[in-house]
Structure 1
Amino acid sequence: MLQTIRDNSQGVIAKIIIGFIIGVFALFGAESIIGGFLGGNNVASVNGEEITEPELAQSLQNVMAQMGANVQDFDEQLLREIALGQLIEDRLLMQAAESSGMTISDNSLDRQIVRTPQFQVGGVFDPDLARRTMGAQGFTAQTYRASLSQQMMMSQLANAYASSGFVTDEAIERLAALELQTRDFRYLSIPLGNRTLGEAIPADDIRAYYDNNPAEFTAPEQVSVNYVVLEKDRIFDEVEVDEARVRAQYEEERDAAVANIERRASHILWELGGDASQEELLAIAAGVKERLDAGEDFGELAREFSDDVVSAEDDGDIGYTDGSVFPAALEQALVTLEVDQVSDPVVSEFGVHLVKLTEYDAQEYPEFDEVAERIERDLNSAEVDQLYFSRLENLANLAFETFDLQAINEELGLEIQQSEYFGRSGGSSAITSEERVIEAAFSDDVLVEELNSELIELSDTRAVVLHLQEYRPEALIPFEDVRAEIAVTLRGQREREMARELGENLMAALDSGEDISGQIASESLSWIEREDVRRNQADVNIEIVRNVFQMPSPEASDPVRRGFSLNNGAYVLVELQAVEDGNAANMPEQQRQQLTAALIENQGRMSFDALLRNLQTDADITGLELDPGVL
């Protein structure tokens, strides 16, 4: 009873559950609710609990939506198995939560619902909006509460396991030894140079490379399309709104704003239904009213007398109303009050009230000159929207009814443009880089039947229709066109080989105890010394650091050597001289806390994964055959 008043008026208690709403809508959407009434084929059973085809269809839609535009690249059966696997996991978790005795109280559900931003207007819970939002997703209030309860229970179970991890000081020490480990080393970097300068690349090698690597020199299939573009922004120049329309809209908005009066109220409530009768409560309320008239504080008396303990803690405040939020008796009383005035005792279906008007907000609307530009802009946009959508519909019809773009050009005045040639990976222009344009250009309708494409809406303000101009099939590029390119490639390969050969020779000389300083100088190279380098050292090439930390620790005073090529072709010779393990005592407190939290989170995740595996192993799951890797 008291909750109803607060649900309709208190704006500070409704801000948390949006994540639950999204999850519930995604998991228990309209199709699964309706499917429960209409029936359908069962596709699987989890410990005797059936999963229906409509539920699987909804889960499949959610999986496809998460994967986005590239979903067509995946096998449909695999996607179906993934969707079913998710449903089975949810069933197992729900059954585990129920068997563990987990429940969600009605009060918890109420709190989550009234704190849902989707159910609020101006930060205040609106029951009508809540019912409409639930209905739009295929829920009644009862089915929504049931779905939300299940989602909260599964989250409660997951959180219980995810937060169960712990970490010892010994584990922190071991990780710190690795995380804070430093290494001393020196290295030679042998870059690509001009070692092959003056050395001709044999013509036979160039030809052999061309013959052995046809895929590198095969131009993919390409198309060029003609297209027309409908853009909303171009319509603005066609629209003009006269002052009479602007003034009429101003009058309408002003009348609506002035009529929108908000009042804020506080109350002291004596709830009906106890030992005292209504007459006795009225007498008590009248006595408190006399004390208020004598100057006592409303908030203090609310805390002393009000049965609405939540609002009493806030001096009796029950929020704002536009005349439709509170019970009718309270609304009628508020109309007669001045700010800070308290009503005589008022009786509603909830009990006996003393009502105080704390704020009165009668909207003042600005003068015409202050808002005329904005109104003109709004009217202009509305008319442009109407014209755009009308032409959009006309464009879609013409694209379907005609066999080229000429009729569209004549009727809608849209310029026929021609694209560059582009392949299935797209082109360089704004149009041909659009994925939906590429898909349409290579569709059977456009490519094979040579029909207009369907209307392609690139955004809310831009649409395009295509027609094939020319198709170029996949073809091998002539040898002469790529001869020079191949020569450059082969020369680069030879430069890499020579850099590697030099590096390997230098390392072999070092291993045999030779002095290589002369060779280094002749190649204009020099050792680079680095000390106390960490894994995340920013001023050393990341490839070098990664290789250094993969090397074994040196024994005694003998360095460990390794040679490797970088992605840019340079060859690096490294001498690892010393390794110093890290110490947790030297770890900053913030880093220690972050490391501890990461370990706990990882252990909690592993515990939850183990729970799922055990539930799957012990469960009786029948129905559609699943790939073992899906669950």
Structure 2
Amino acid sequence: MEAFRRLIRGWLGKVLLVIFLIPFALVGIEGYFSRNGNDETAIQVNKAKISQTALDTAIENQRKQLLEQVKGDESQLNQDAIKKLVTNNLVYRALLLDQAKKLGFELSDQQIGQLIRQEPSFHENGKYSDALFQTYLKNSGTSLSQLLNDVREQVAIQQLAGGINDTGLASKADIDRLAVLQTEKRKVHVASLPLSGFVVDSQITDKQVADYYNKNKSQLSLPESVDVDFVVLDSNALASQVQVTDADIQAQYKAMQAKSAGAEERRIQHILIEVNGKTSEAAAKQQIEKIAARIKAGEDFGKVASEVSQDPGSAANSGDLGFLSKGTFPGAFDDTAFSLPVNQVSAPVRSDAGYHLIKVSEIKKDNVASLDSLRPQLIAQAQQSKLDELYSETVNRLNDMAVDTDSLQELAKAQKLSVNSAKNVTKLNATEPLNNASVKAALFNDDIVHGDRKISTGIEIAPGKTIWVKVNNYHVARPQTLAEATAQIKQTLQAQAQRAKAEAKAKAIVNALETKSPVQVQQENNITLQSLGEITRMSGAPLALERAAFAVAKPKANQWSAGYYIEGSNLIIVAVSEVIAGDPASVNPEQRQQLTSTMATLRGQQELADYVQYLKAKAKIKYHSVDEDSK
């Protein structure tokens, strides 16, 4: 059972099934396969039917997760790629579930019930709470039978997938070979050649432009765009309208005093007698009352706490818990501790742990400094408070105006704001402040497409900064004409010609280094190959540089091996002057264990990937409502 617990740990939240190193968020505990005969089937995998509702829900969940990663900017999402990812992973899940059932991977209702009772989310005061479980079922809209079935399916998949993943093995010879590769050192030299330095002599002809246009017409489209006016309200512009009075300062000071009045810490001692499987409620109560009588008779509280308290942490320190703030132990313990006078011992107090005797040995209160000493701080607070209030009122007033007028100029005039304009704004070329995700959502939506030209409500684009936008014209996405695309095509062809010329130069340098001395090659080509010293595959060098350095052959005596790659607007030549063989003995035990674990995991994942592809090849899969490109 412990193995099962590890397999589904955290299943009550978002369950993640990892296949091919792609994390795919499942629909929760809602089920993927058609249980309702009226739900249209989207995909059929053997006899299992994945409903259209399940597919749509899974796509939407994946979209929401990715939106969180890009801070809500939907323009950065590739909807087709999301649909393809989700569709494939639902098929993979169905294949694994079908195979798991055939192989007998299944838990009984009793075993699942035991897992539910062990789930910490359903524990209260350290024990399983059926009330919490029933609340979960109610809030999630899940029946008990559906939950049991969904968990049974999830565990079956994870048992099968986990078993295959765990088959990945790495022998000593494997690790030695990997260690040799990882510790191999290469002395690397690089030269960066700007692509802009390669001047193309010939002009781009009209025929070249036309040929490129005809071959790439489908890719030379103009995205949807808008012409937009906008105004921005910055709270800082309202600062001159804020006047701070003595009454405002007094109000801030009184608020500070009131807040500080409740801010006290108390040094608390206690004695605990637990109520647990060994000590009953009645026995614990009787024991604490006897201890209370001893203290009332004059025995020292701290000495008695050290002798009898069942809280080992504080008992070793005469029952001292140190200074506590109110709310540290909510409930009867907290209420008693913060109502006792100093040095008075409480009557027995019941908490979740058992019975306590409580004593307050010291009280610390924060003393507020004088008003005069705090005046600069109070003025700043009062000014910010009044500015926030004025800003909020101004935003609300402008929002009311936006509802009543279609003129952004009237809105701007009311607050003496400037009206700004931008034409041909797309989702990708929008600049501040129009590049805000919420602003782009207001510029590009179905209402705008269908002719809505109203002023938006205020959109907060930063703390203390709000924008109102009004779309004047909406331009649908369309193919560019040859005339419109000519400038872009010429730029593309020019860049291609520059790149080709740069690559020809790089290839000549690489070939020359195979037959000539490095000094001669650098002199002839007017370049300097700067030494980067020794690098390994674990040295943290840029990935492109590392790949280029370790892709070339070991150099011959007195020669260098070289390659190149293009990054941004530069061509990078990478030369290797020496290869120092790796040594498995240089890998410490911790690193070796990490290599072993990594290789075993990768092999296990590859085994799982191959297994799923095998199941897919044998399966009967029918896509009822999925585009061909999404399969």
Question: TM-score normalized by structure 1?
Answer: 0.62
In the TM superposition, what whole-angstrom CA distance separates every residue of 1:110-161 from its partner, at most 9, and x where no partner exists? Answer: 798789xxxxxxxxxxx9xxx9xx99x9589x99xx99x979x979979999
Q: CA deviation at 1:175?
A: 0.5
Q: Does residue 74 in structure 1 map to residue 79 in structure 2? A: yes
**Contact 1:405-1:452 within 8 A present in 2 as well:** no
SS in 2 for 1:226: strand
Q: CA deviation at 1:406?
A: 2.1
Equivalent of 1:284, from 287, 290, 302?
A: 290
What residue in structure 2 maps to residue 121 of structure 1? none
Cα distance in 1, alignment partners of residues 337 and 524 from structure 2: 97
Q: Does residue 302 in structure 1 map to residue 305 in structure 2? A: no
Change (3 A) 1:302 1:359: farther
What residue in structure 2 maps to residue 431 of structure 1? 433
What residue in structure 1 maps to residue 342 of structure 2? 338
Equivalent of 1:392, from 395, 398, 407?
A: 395
**Contact 1:189-1:572 within 8 A present in 2 as well:** yes
What residue in structure 1 maps to residue 205 of structure 2? 206
Cα distance in 2, alignment partners of residues 279 and 516 from structure 1: 92
Q: Does residue 109 in structure 1 map to residue 120 in structure 2? A: yes
Match of 2:456, as an amino acid? E
What residue in structure 2 maps to residue 405 of structure 1? 408
Cα distance in 2, alignment partners of residues 615 and 161 from structure 1: 13
Which deviates further from its counterpart, 318-327 or 253-262? 318-327
Match of 1:430, as an amino acid? E
Change (3 A) 1:547 1:363: closer
Match of 2:184, as an amino acid? Q
Q: CA deviation at 1:389?
A: 3.3
Equivalent of 1:236, from 230, 235, 239?
A: 239
SS in 2 for 1:426: coil
Equivalent of 1:246, from 219, 234, 249?
A: 249
**Contact 1:196-1:494 within 8 A present in 2 as well:** no
Change (3 A) 1:209 1:315: farther
What residue in structure 2 maps to residue 62 of structure 1? 61
Change (3 A) 1:481 1:587: closer
Cα distance in 2, alignment partners of residues 477 and 313 from structure 1: 87
Q: CA deviation at 1:194?
A: 9.7
* 1:566-585 aligned within 5 A: 581-585=581-585
Q: CA deviation at 1:66?
A: 1.5
* 1:34-433 aligned within 5 A: 60-68=59-67, 69-70=74-75, 73-75=78-80, 81=87, 98=107, 101=111, 103-104=114-115, 109=120, 138=139, 167-181=170-184, 201=202, 206-214=205-213, 220=222, 224-263=227-266, 264-269=268-273, 271=275, 274=280, 281=287, 284-286=290-292, 288-289=294-295, 293=299, 297-303=303-309, 306=310, 316=319, 320=324, 322=326, 331=335, 335-339=339-343, 342-343=345-346, 353-419=356-422, 422-427=425-430, 429-433=431-435
Match of 1:426, as an amino acid? N
Query: Quick check: which has more Rg, 1 or 2?
Result: 1
Cα distance in 1, alignment partners of residues 433 and 13 from structure 2: 34
Match of 1:451, as an amino acid? R
Cα distance in 2, alignment partners of residues 627 and 482 from structure 1: 32
Q: What is the aligned residue count?
A: 572
Cα distance in 1, alignment partners of residues 379 and 174 from structure 2: 68
Cα distance in 1, alignment partners of residues 253 and 406 from structure 2: 48
Q: CA deviation at 1:481?
A: 7.5
Match of 1:236, as an amino acid? A
**Contact 1:261-1:360 within 8 A present in 2 as well:** yes
Cα distance in 2, alignment partners of residues 621 and 480 from structure 1: 46
SS in 1 for 2:466: strand
What residue in structure 1 maps to residue 20 of structure 2? none
Change (3 A) 1:430 1:255: closer
Q: CA deviation at 1:388?
A: 2.9
Cα distance in 2, alignment partners of residues 329 and 287 from structure 1: 20
**Contact 1:503-1:573 within 8 A present in 2 as well:** no
Change (3 A) 1:449 1:182: same
Match of 2:290, as an amino acid? I
Which deviates further from its counterpart, 475-484 or 444-453? 475-484
Question: TM-score normalized by structure 2?
Answer: 0.62
Q: CA deviation at 1:212?
A: 2.4
Which deviates further from its counterpart, 465-474 or 66-75? 465-474
SS in 2 for 1:387: helix
Cα distance in 1, alignment partners of residues 92 and 383 from structure 2: 49
In the TM superposition, what whole-angstrom CA distance separates every residue of 1:499-539 from its partner, at most 9, and x where no partner exists? Answer: 4786699699x6xxxx9999969945799899996554989
Which deviates further from its counterpart, 386-395 or 91-100? 91-100
Cα distance in 1, alignment partners of residues 335 and 542 from structure 2: 73
Cα distance in 2, alignment partners of residues 461 and 248 from structure 1: 23
Cα distance in 2, alignment partners of residues 188 and 260 from structure 1: 64
What residue in structure 1 maps to residue 596 of structure 2? 596
Q: CA deviation at 1:301?
A: 1.9
Which deviates further from its counterpart, 440-449 or 522-531? 522-531
**Contact 1:194-1:495 within 8 A present in 2 as well:** no
In the TM superposition, what whole-angstrom CA distance separates every residue of 1:452-476 from its partner, at most 9, and x where no partner exists? Answer: 4523432343222334567899565
Change (3 A) 1:413 1:177: same
Change (3 A) 1:601 1:411: same
Q: CA deviation at 1:267?
A: 2.2
Cα distance in 1, alignment partners of residues 312 and 490 from structure 2: 86
What residue in structure 1 maps to residue 6 of structure 2? none
SS in 2 for 1:245: helix
Cα distance in 2, alignment partners of residues 439 and 601 from structure 1: 42
Structure 1 residue runs of 5 or longer lacking an equivalent are 1-17, 34-39, 116-126
Q: CA deviation at 1:269?
A: 2.5
In the TM superposition, what whole-angstrom CA distance separates every residue of 1:360-408 from its partner, at most 9, and x where no partner exists? Answer: 3344333323444444444443443343334334434443443331221
Change (3 A) 1:300 1:459: same
Cα distance in 1, alignment partners of residues 507 and 182 from structure 2: 35
Match of 2:211, as an amino acid? N
SS in 2 for 1:213: helix
**Contact 2:195-2:499 within 8 A present in 1 as well:** no
**Contact 1:261-1:362 within 8 A present in 2 as well:** yes
In the TM superposition, what whole-angstrom CA distance separates every residue of 1:394-429 from its partner, at most 9, and x where no partner exists? Answer: 4344434433312212333322123366555315x5
Match of 1:595, as an amino acid? L
Match of 1:285, as an amino acid? I
Q: CA deviation at 1:63?
A: 1.9
**Contact 2:185-2:580 within 8 A present in 1 as well:** yes
